[in-house]
Amino acid sequence: MNTQSPGIKAAREFIDAFNAQDHERLGRALNYPHIRLALGEFKRIESLNDFVDSSRSNESRLRSEGWNHTKMRSIEVIHQGTDKIHLSITNDRCDADGKVYNSFDTMWVATLQDGHWGIQFRSSFLR
C-alpha cells in the first residue's frame, strides 16, 4: 500500500473527521460536486454547506445504531493518475467497546481540484 498517496491521505482525513463528527472538517475532506451511490441511489451534493447540513442530520441516526467510530480495515489504490485516484476500502463500524457491528466494502474516487485532494465520489455496500 502506498500510504503516501494523496488519495489515501484524503480518505484518512475523511475518516478522522467522520470519527470526530466534525462536520465542517468532514466537508472540507471532499471535493464538489460530491456524488454518493448507496442503497441503489445516487445522491449529488453541490457544496460544503449542503454537505454539512446533511452530515449533521445524520449524526443522531449513527448514534442510535450504536456507532462510536469507524476503522478502515483495508485501503488500496486500484488506479492512479495525476488528478484522480480510485480507492478500494473496507470499513468497519464499531461500538464504544470497539466491537465491529457492520463491515462493508466501498470504492472512493479522490480528485485534485484547485490544488486540493478530496474525495469526490463514494460507492458503498453499506447496509
How many structural domains compose the chain?
1
pLDDT digits 0-9 by tens, 78-122 = 999 999 999 999 999 999 999 999 999 999 999 999 999 999 999
Query: pLDDT of 35-46, one tens digit each?
Result: 999 888 999 999
Residue 1 lies in a domain: no
Q: What is the CATH number of the domain that holds 11?
A: 3.10.450.50
Distances (CA, A) of 4 to 13, 14, 54, 69, 90: 13, 15, 30, 23, 19
pTM: 0.92
pLDDT of residue 127: 67
What does the angle CA 46 – CA 50 – CA 55 come to, to the nearest 5 degrees?
A: 125
Domain assignment present for 25: yes
Q: Is residue 16, in this structure, part of any structural domain at all?
A: yes
Domain encompassing residue 96: 6-124
